[in-house]
Amino acid sequence: MKEQFLAFVRKEWFHIWRDKKTLFILFGLPVVQIIIFGFALTNEIKNARIAVVDRSRDALSQQYIQRIEASRYFDIESMLGSANEADAEFRKGKIKLVVVIPENFGSDIRHQNKTQVQVIADVSDPNTGTTLGTYIQAITADFQSDINQGQKLPYTIQPEVRMLYNPQLKGAYNFVPGVMAMVLMLICTLMTSIAIVKEKETGTMEVLLVSPLKPVLVILAKSTPYLLLSAVNIVSILLLSVFVLGLPIAGNLALLIGLSLLFTITSLSFGMLISSITASQQTAMLISLMGLFLPTLMLSGFMFPIENMPLPLKVMSNLVPAKWYFFIVKAVMIKGVGMAIIWKETLILTVMTIVFLALSIRKYNIRLANH
Amino acid sequence: MKNPEKHYEYAITADALSKHFGDFTAVDRITFNVRRGEIFGFLGANGAGKTTAMRMLCGLSKPSSGEATVAGYDVAAQPEDIKRNIGYMSQKFSLYEDLTVTENIRFFAGIYGLSDAAIREKSASLLRHLQLEAEKNKLVQSLPLGWKQKLAFSIAIIHEPKIVFLDEPTGGVDPLTRREFWEMIYTSARQGTTIFVTTHYMDEAEYCHRVSIMVDGRIAALDTPAALKKHFGAASMNEVFLQLARQATRQAD
Amino acid sequence: MRSLRFLLEKEFRQIFRNPAILRMIFIMPVIQLIILPQVADYEIRNVKMDVIDHDHSMYSREMIRKITSSGCFELAGYHDSYTAALHDVEHDRTDLILEIPAGFERTLVRENEAPLFIAVNAINGMRANLGAAYLNSIIRDYNQEVRAEWIRFPRFDEQPRIEVQQRNWYNLHLNYKLFMVPGILVILLTMVGAFLAALNIVKEKEIGTIEQINVTPIRKHHFILGKLIPFWIMGLLVLSLGLLVARLIYGIVPVGNIGLIYLFAAIFLLAVLGLGLLISTISHTQQQAMLIAFFLMMIFILMGGLYTSIESMPRWAQVVTWFNPVTYFIDVVRMVVLKGSGLKDIAGHLGIIFIFAVVLNAWAVFSYRKRT
């Protein structure tokens, strides 16, 4: 039985190995994506283009504008004559925010101790809109204390903030584990589901199923090469994360790789499940991609905080394997913790894998029984 | 779109026609002529280069060197003109399995530019001839292989091409259906269509007017079946074929 | 032109004969459009906080009360040691630790200044940063109250103050769904179009029917058009369905002219389908086509400006987004739906997407070879 199994794995391996184009994509895709997304994706908002209406045009307002310009959050795109032009500019999508400095800005501060700056934010994107508003407030507060020349106030609470794990607040710390989860999940599911359905489509599946090899082994043999490919991908992703993107591996490397393989197996078995319920490659692919892409992206917690979700979706997010893997990668890779913390997540992934496998094998056995 | 009638002597001519894939020479300087209205058998072991040669003649594959004409058009320079004048039925089953019988007929007739009236008339007579009237609204995938092949042949000649290329048309079909299939080929040839056919079955080779046998990308023999048998001192085409095939050095794929 | 009619007839028949695909095309986007926007909420609220209060004073208790009643923070745990609280961070049971040192109240009153320690899980840097900023501002407010209590009568003039008054346009209630729904719709539409088109021609290659097509005198551009048009129509149907969902479930009615969305979508779809067909013509198997499509889709979607803002990306990545058709459509849909932008406002984007459509389709026709 063992020889037959190995012979079968070898056959599958040749299928994959012959198709150099696919192989190239399989290895190249995760690498390119980790690099692109590791560098490009950040949920920080900077260099936002804004416009300024300066109705005062005095020395102080000039200083204030310079202060805004100097911050990395804003690029002043244009100076508008009046706030009435704001609407037209927003509609063109050129700017995100308009700062309106009132008349007599400087003299009001000097003589009345008080003035009011108006901010008009395009909150069609509420996240950007409100965050930019917060930034303007912070810059204004700084500016204000500069005018006050740092007079020390009595009874001051001095909060001292420490940023744990990611003191430079790099986007990659959050996005790399997320993209890892997405890429592994989608590629593994897609590849296995296609590989099996393809045999069904061409009719060779029947041949395999009547061979002395048990259906379970047929299916396992089909997915083994992809497990090997994924192992290579995991290693290359980790190497890039550390040496190119500067992420730490704070915890145990062997544990990280081991659990990544577990997640790969979860995804492979999910691919098998899809293949067992579909008849054509096209359907399998559409389910794997259309059906998994956005839910994995949005429910795994790496794009959107799970605590903000409505209850039914919070519950639903528990069904997304990537959510658990995302937690594991963050915990082992960045926080540097061990099994004591992540045993629950590991257990959940294991159970999911067993369920997927059991369901797909049952499906195949039913198929055989009906023949 | 009717193209002007072109005058030509031979339906197919090939002169030192070759095809290389990298270092591998699939077809090696083959030269032959096929007369109009002839049934020309194109034989050879698997991997001898038959399909590659046929694909070049149909304008599906670009020759590496040499010249060939089909219906008077140059294979290298005028593949689209050739396509208007030929029918083709490939080894891989070439109808749409998820369309019905009538839908397949309608589609192929349509893209060959037949008028609506002609399509109606053709479909009706075709279904009648094949006795497929009861199955006309069934999906092609539900038909037995033999019927599919006969339907595919009828569709390949629906636009009344001057030449029809058949690539192992009877593979996997039972003897009775093969017989019927050849009757269809004869009928078509009698009406003036040139038939260029590849086959594995040596009994089918006997039905051809002339036969060429390819070995290792070259034409090893070309004549009428009777002349070939006489020349090789063989009782059947099968023996002729075996004698020639033993010379082969190339591995079948 | 006549052969085009028959090609279209055939394509439509094949599409409608495959219920699995039809379900995928029409039901999946609708379900996802109903569910997923509910998730898209970046707002900083429900931030989990652990407190270590070594002081147990009136001030410390009052401050904690102020923080938890703000709505942004919820008390996740109460601990005696930093180690215990850090353990909560490791388990993701809390996002933030507030440690009040012993003698906090006394030091504040006697020495005019008292420290306070905050530790934030900063793996998600942006969220950590904003969370800390909110916490700081609540503490500042509380500080102001304490100060007011001790300084009944200002000893000197009040310091100059610059107030910032913010006005929110286009989305008064800061409704995230208003922002996400159009974007997600664009992504679903892109996926449907690109995946279906990418699989189509290569499927005929795998089955072998493409040979039969290639041996007919059919024109290359007719063949591509025959593939393009059915998916184009389906794409517009999916768009209509999506807009209907947006209206019925989220109450989103475009402020601008809905015709503009259709105009843009019509050209956008041509571009996306052209890309799909191009992938299809250069691939040998459906597997290859799907992988290439997946690779491009992932870049298009993650770099389309829906999830993270494009201005924040490094320069080279911004250049990459110029070649991402999805960016333009997301921009346009948002502009028209939320701000009521007109034809003049979107003309630039329209021109660019038109170029995409022409180039990609020409490329697809060019790379479709009837012979090898």
State chain B's mean pLDDT as an integer: 87
Per DSSP, what are the bridge partners of residue A53? Answer: A80, A100
Provide the domain limits for residue C224.
Answer: 2-40+174-367
Which of these, C356, C82, C218, lies nearest to B83 by C-alpha position? C218
Alpha-carbon torsion C131, C135, C136, C137, what sign?
A: positive
Rounded Cα–Cα distance for residues B31 and B218 (Å):
9
Q: Are residues C250 and C347 in the same domain?
A: yes
- List chain C residues with CB under 8 Å of A314: none
C14 vs B: CB within 8 A: yes
Average pLDDT over residues C65-76: 88
Which of these, B23, A334, A161, lies nearest to C137 by C-alpha position? A161
Q: What is the DSSP letter of B139?
A: B
If 0-12 CB within 10 Å is exposed, 13-18 middle and 19+ buried, where does residue C371 land?
middle
Q: How far is CA A329 from CA A187, A294, A326, B8, B70, in A?
A: 18, 20, 5, 74, 65
Q: Tell me how close the Cα of B156 comes to any Cα of chain C, in angstroms.
A: 9
Q: Are residues C146 and C187 in the same domain?
A: no
B138 vs C: CB within 8 A: no
- Collect all residues with Cβ–Cβ distance below 8 Å to C180 and sequence separation of at least 6: C36, C37, C40, C306
Residue spans of the domains in chain A: they are: 2-41+169-369, 48-147
Q: Are residues C193 and C317 in the same domain?
A: yes
Q: How many CB pairs under 8 A join A and C?
A: 377
Rounded Cα–Cα distance for residues B231 and B241 (Å):
12
Q: Taking the complete model, does pTM exceed 0.90, yes or no?
A: no
Q: Are residues C216 and C347 in the same domain?
A: yes
Which pLDDT value is given to residue C152?
A: 62
**pLDDT over threshold 70, residue C258:** yes
Q: Are residues C16 and C120 in the same domain?
A: no
The pair of three-digit structure tokens given for residue A95, joined into one six-digit string: 């700017």
Nearest CA in chain C to B63: C372
Looking at the domain assignment, is residue C162 inside a domain?
no
Name which of C150, C291, C292, C343 to mutate to probe chain A: the one with the most chain A Cβ atoms within 10 A of its Cβ: C291
Rounded Cα–Cα distance for residues C319 and B131 (Å):
63
Rounded Cα–Cα distance for residues C114 and C147 (Å):
13
Q: Are residues C104 and C245 in the same domain?
A: no
Which pLDDT value is given to residue C236?
A: 94
Tokens 């507030």 label which residue? C98
Digit-coded pLDDT (tens) for C167-196: 777 777 667 788 888 888 999 999 889 988
Neighbours of B196 (CB within 10 A): 25
| Range C269-295 burial, b when 16+ CB lie within 10 A, else e | bbbbbbbbbbbbbbbebbbbbbbbbbb
Alpha-carbon torsion B241, B243, B244, B250, what sign?
A: positive
Looking at the domain assignment, is residue C336 inside a domain?
yes
- Collect all residues with Cβ–Cβ distance below 8 Å to B19 and sequence separation of at least 6: B25, B26, B27, B49, B52, B53, B56, B61, B63, B64
A167 vs C: CB within 8 A: yes
Q: Are residues C196 and C321 in the same domain?
A: yes
The pair of three-digit structure tokens given for residue A28, joined into one six-digit string: 């190249």
Provide the domain count of chain C: 2
Residue C156's pLDDT band (boundaries 50, 70, 90)? Answer: very low
Residue C312's pLDDT band (boundaries 50, 70, 90)? Answer: confident
Which pLDDT value is given to residue A150?
A: 57
Q: What is the DSSP letter of B252?
A: P
Rounded Cα–Cα distance for residues A222 and A272 (Å):
10
Residues present in chain C in total: 372
Chains that touch B (3 or more CB pairs under 8 A): C
Which pLDDT value is given to residue C221?
A: 86
**pLDDT over threshold 50, residue C224:** yes
Rounded Cα–Cα distance for residues A252 and A254 (Å):
6
Per DSSP, what are the bridge partners of residue A158? Answer: C115
Rounded Cα–Cα distance for residues C343 and C257 (Å):
9
Neighbours of B235 (CB within 10 A): 9
Residues present in chain A in total: 371
Q: Do B92 and C208 touch (CB under 8 A)?
A: yes
Which of these, A196, A249, A189, A202, lies nearest to A219 by C-alpha position? A196
SS (H, E, C) A184-220: HHHHHHHHHHHHHHHHHHHCHHHHHHHCCCCHHHHHH
3-state secondary structure of B131: coil
If 0-12 CB within 10 Å is exposed, 13-18 middle and 19+ buried, where does residue C153 land?
exposed
Which pLDDT value is given to residue B100?
A: 92
Q: Are residues C27 and C55 in the same domain?
A: no
Q: Do B90 and C216 touch (CB under 8 A)?
A: no
- Collect all residues with Cβ–Cβ distance below 8 Å to A240 and sequence separation of at least 6: A31, A34, A35, A38
Instruction: State which amino acid sits at residue B167.
Output: D
3-state secondary structure of A18: helix
Looking at the domain assignment, is residue C326 inside a domain?
yes
Q: Tell me how close the Cα of B123 comes to any Cα of chain C, in angstroms.
A: 15
Rounded Cα–Cα distance for residues B165 and B172 (Å):
18
Name the range with the highest mean pLDDT among B29-33, C126-130, C131-135: B29-33
- Domain at A48-147: CATH code: 3.40.1710.10
- Domain at B10-93+164-245: CATH code: 3.40.50.300
Rounded Cα–Cα distance for residues B198 and B212 (Å):
10
The pair of three-digit structure tokens given for residue A56, joined into one six-digit string: 């005062």
Q: Are C6 and B106 in contact (CB under 8 A)?
A: yes
Which of these, C342, C46, C365, C326, lies nearest to C192 by C-alpha position? C326
For the ranges A4-13, A52-61, A67-76, the lowest mean pLDDT is seen at A4-13
For the ranges A87-96, A193-202, A214-223, the lowest mean pLDDT is seen at A214-223
Which pLDDT value is given to residue B6?
A: 62
Looking at the domain assignment, is residue C166 inside a domain?
no
Digit-coded pLDDT (tens) for A78-115: 898 888 888 888 888 788 899 999 988 888 888 887 88
Tokens 């890309």 label which residue? C275
Q: Are residues C128 and C180 in the same domain?
A: no
Among C89, C116, C150, the domain boundary falls at C150
Which pLDDT value is given to residue B253?
A: 47
Q: How far is CA A262 from CA A178, A352, C281, in A?
A: 16, 11, 36
ipTM of the complex: 0.80
**pLDDT over threshold 90, residue C303:** no
Question: For position C125, which CATH number holds?
Answer: 3.40.1710.10
Q: Tell me how close the Cα of B180 comes to any Cα of chain C, in angstroms.
A: 23
Q: Are strands C161-169 and C113-121 parallel, antiparallel or unpaired?
A: unpaired
Q: Do A126 and C171 touch (CB under 8 A)?
A: yes
Q: Are A91 and C341 in contact (CB under 8 A)?
A: yes
For the ranges A141-150, B7-16, B159-168, the lowest mean pLDDT is seen at A141-150
Q: Are residues C229 and C141 in the same domain?
A: no
State chain A's mean pLDDT as an integer: 85
3-state secondary structure of A111: helix
Q: Are A129 and A121 in contact (CB under 8 A)?
A: yes
Which of these, A297, A36, A125, lies nearest to C331 by C-alpha position? A125
Out of B86, B92, B107, name the one closest to residue C6 (CB): B107
Side-chain half-sphere CA neighbours of A1 within 13 A: 6
Q: Do B88 and C218 touch (CB under 8 A)?
A: no
**Cβ contact C–A (≥3 pairs, < 8 Å):** yes
**pLDDT over threshold 50, residue B172:** yes
Rounded Cα–Cα distance for residues B57 and B18 (Å):
11
Residue A131's pLDDT band (boundaries 50, 70, 90)? Answer: confident
Residue C315's pLDDT band (boundaries 50, 70, 90)? Answer: confident
Out of A42, A156, A285, name the one closest to residue C286 (CB): A285
Which of these, B182, C298, C44, lies nearest to A308 by C-alpha position? C44
Beta strands in C38-124, from DSSP E residues, in sequence order: 47-53, 73-79, 96-100, 113-121
- Collect all residues with Cβ–Cβ distance below 8 Å to A274 and sequence separation of at least 6: A189, A193, A284, A287, A288
Which of these, B132, B109, B204, B140, lies nearest to B166 by C-alpha position? B204
Which pLDDT value is given to residue C164?
A: 78
Which of these, B144, B150, B146, lies nearest to B105 by C-alpha position? B150
**pLDDT over threshold 70, residue C128:** yes
Q: Are C181 and C250 in contact (CB under 8 A)?
A: yes
Tokens 């909560």 label which residue? C88
Q: Tell me how close the Cα of C38 comes to any Cα of chain A, in angstroms.
A: 7
